[in-house]
Amino acid sequence: MRLDNKKVLVTGGAGFIGSALVRKLLDFKANVIVYDNFVSGHPANLSEIMQDVTVLTGDIRDPNFKNVLINHNVDLVFHLAAEPYIPHCYEYPRKFFDVNASGTMNVMLACLDAGVKRVLHYSSSEIYGTAQYLPMDENHPTNPYSTYAVSKLASDRLCFTLYHEQGLPVVILRQFNCYGSRETHPYIIPELISQISRTGKLKLGNIKARRDYTYVEDAVEGAIKLIQTKKAIGEAINLGTGKDWSVEELAHLLARLMGRRHIEIKIEKRKLRPHDVNRLCADYSKAKKLCGWRPKTSFEKGLEATIGWYRENREKWIWEMRKWSL
Q: What pLDDT, on a 0 to 100 scale, did the predictor assign at position 203?
A: 97
**Model pTM score:** 0.97
CA 187 to chain centre: 11
DSSP code for 140: S
Alpha helix positions (H), 131-232: 147-166, 188-198, 216-227
Amino acid residing at 47: S
Q: What pLDDT, on a 0 to 100 scale, did the predictor assign at position 175?
A: 98
Nearest of 27, 17, 128 to residue 78 by alpha carbon? 17
Q: In whole angstroms, give the CA distance from residue 188 to residue 191.
A: 5
CA angle 123, 124, 127 (to 5 degrees): 110
Which domains are delineated in the chain? Answer: 7-179+214-239 (3.40.50.720), 188-211+244-280+297-320 (3.90.25.10)
Q: Helix, strand, or coil here: 221? A: helix
What residue ranges of the chain have pLDDT lower than 70?
323-326
Q: What pLDDT, on a 0 to 100 scale, did the predictor assign at position 324?
A: 44
Q: How do residues 104-163 score in pLDDT, each as one tens digit? A: 999 999 999 999 999 999 999 999 999 999 999 999 999 999 999 999 999 999 999 999
Q: What pLDDT, on a 0 to 100 scale, did the predictor assign at position 35?
A: 98
